[in-house]
């Protein structure tokens, strides 16, 4: 019965000029998301409101599911929109609405009328009262409860009149495109897709980089990363994924540096390369899935040593999360199943038995001196031969 949806969005921090930017970005993201499902949709705004109108057949659950992937939406209210043809007609429409949406009338309700224009002949109080009594006349089983009603009936008088009573939660956040771009270091694990999701949720466009080390990491591992990028893209919009061949760099570090420092030195090179890619592509920060103490390379000492090569901000949205909290988000956003597929890196030769957990920066720098200029060439080759693919739903 619903032909339209009212989109509710948060208002904090979007006053004045920012508001238009926020609303326009939200409209673009809604249009983009709806483009991938069947049906014909028009997205419009009317002072402080965004509407999605449908035309012809559409799948209700699919529309809700799709809108729940759009950052910036706090709630989705399926609504009936009617023309203003006087109070009697409004009362009739509201009765028809209640009849259609609630076949069983054994519930308590409250009418919330709001006038978006003050030229309507009745004020909100009168509307609440009069509409309430019309409803009670039509359905005597109904009861009014102004304190904790089972059903809140919203009546918004604007150019036209909006009737709605259900608000389905959206995912919140800010529309993608309102907050610049960042480069996500995306592996096939559980953490980095969640980290990307969280930063995109603040309105940031994502670009991603995956360090692939064939034959030590399999083609299936690479496919898994592309699948994860696509899943994150169902929220974040299209993600350009750079696949950088890291094998020669890894082998060279393995050859020249103490094995217990391998992970840290490799991670320093990953960050450097990610940063170069970020600079080349207009991204203003890096994103990783690191969390303090999760593994040897994520002790606070290791993070200090890794971070030292970065000149741009590194966003680590999971830094204070327990693994279970991260898993819960991965499950909620739908990346978990893919993340736990067993095509993990088989590069055990690169994993030291006893990696340093308190790397000393002076020692690490000293070890890196063994790498000479050849490492720069290898980095350049890795960048020159990268593969870039667009991941989107
Ligand atoms: P994840 O579950 O995200 O793989 P992790 O717990 O396995 O994380 P690490 O392997 O230490 O942790 O990696 C820490 C972070 O470094 C990852 O969250 C990711 O952002 C980045 N990273 C690790 N390996 C790669 C890779 N091969 N390509 C791109 N980024 C990577
Ligand atoms: Mg990992």
How far apart (Å, rounded) are the C-alpha atoms in residues 393 and 391? 7
Place of tokens 């419009």: 44
Give the sign of the dihedral formed by CA 375, CA 380, CA 383, CA 385. Answer: negative
Residue 267's nearest CA partner among 211, 319, 216, 195 is: 211
Q: Can you give the pTM of this predicted structure? A: 0.93
Please tell me if the CB atom of residue 210 comes closer than 6 angstroms to any atom of ligand 1.
yes
> 346, 218 in Cβ contact below 8 A?
yes
pLDDT in tens, 49-95: 899 999 999 999 999 999 999 999 999 999 999 999 999 999 999 99
Nearest CA to ligand 1 atom 30: 185
Ligand 1 atom having least distance to the Cα of 184: 20
Please tell me if the CB atom of residue 71 comes closer than 6 angstroms to any atom of ligand 1.
no
Query: What is the mean predicted confidence (pLDDT) over 247-272?
Result: 96
Query: What is the mean predicted confidence (pLDDT) over 275-283?
Result: 98
Please tell me if the CB atom of residue 211 comes closer than 6 angstroms to any atom of ligand 1.
yes
Please tell me if the CB atom of residue 235 comes closer than 6 angstroms to any atom of ligand 1.
no
pLDDT of residue 13: 56
| 293: pLDDT strictly greater than 80 | yes
Nearest CA to ligand 1 atom 4: 189
> 291, 192 in Cβ contact below 8 A?
no
Please tell me if the CB atom of residue 288 comes closer than 6 angstroms to any atom of ligand 1.
yes
Q: DSSP per residue over 324-388, as a string?
A: HHHHHHHHHHT-HHHHTSS-----GGGS-SS--SS--HHHHHHHHHTTTTHHHHHHHHHHHT-EE
């Amino acid at each position: 019965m619903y032909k339209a949806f009212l989109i509710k969005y948060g208002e904090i921090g979007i006053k004045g000029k920012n508001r238009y930017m926020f609303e326009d970005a939200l409209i673009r993201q809604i249009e983009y998301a709806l483009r991938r499902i069947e049906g014909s949709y028009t997205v419009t705004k009317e002072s402080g409101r965004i509407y999605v109108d449908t035309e012809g057949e559409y799948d209700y659950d699919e529309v809700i599911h799709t809108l729940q992937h759009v950052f910036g939406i706090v709630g989705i209210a399926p609504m009936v929109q009617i023309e203003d043809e006087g109070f009697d007609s409004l009362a009739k429409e509201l009765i028809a609405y209640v009849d259609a949406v609630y076949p069983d009338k054994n519930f308590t309700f409250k009418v919330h009328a709001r006038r978006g224009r003050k030229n309507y002949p009745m004020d909100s109080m009168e509307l609440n009262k009069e509409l309430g009594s019309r409803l009670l006349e039509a359905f005597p089983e109904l009861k009014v409860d102004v304190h904790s009603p089972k059903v809140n009936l919203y009546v918004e008088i604007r150019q036209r009149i909006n009737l709605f009573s259900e608000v389905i939660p959206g995912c919140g956040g800010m529309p993608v495109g309102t907050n610049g771009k960042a480069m996500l270091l995306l592996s096939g694990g559980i953490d980095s897709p969640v980290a990307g999701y969280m930063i995109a949720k603040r309105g940031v466009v994502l670009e991603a980089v995956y360090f692939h080390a064939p034959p030590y990491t399999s083609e299936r591992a690479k496919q898994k990363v592309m699948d994860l990028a696509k899943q994150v893209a169902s929220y974040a919009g299209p993600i350009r994924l750079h696949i950088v061949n890291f094998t020669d760099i890894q082998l060279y570090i393995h050859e020249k540096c103490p094995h217990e420092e391998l992970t840290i030195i490799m991670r320093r090179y990953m960050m450097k390369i990610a940063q170069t890619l970020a600079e080349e592509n207009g991204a203003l920060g890096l994103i990783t899935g690191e969390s303090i103490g999760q593994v040897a390379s994520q002790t606070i000492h290791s993070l200090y040593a890794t971070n030292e090569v970065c000149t741009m901000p590194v966003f680590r949205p999971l830094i204070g999360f327990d693994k279970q909290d991260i898993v819960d988000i991965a499950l909620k956003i739908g990346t978990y199943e893919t993340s736990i597929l067993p095509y993990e890196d088989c590069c055990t030769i690169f994993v030291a038995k006893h990696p340093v957990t308190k790397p000393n920066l002076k020692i690490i720098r000293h070890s890196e001196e063994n790498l000479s200029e050849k490492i720069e060439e290898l980095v350049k080759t890795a960048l020159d031969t990268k593969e870039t693919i667009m991941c989107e739903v």
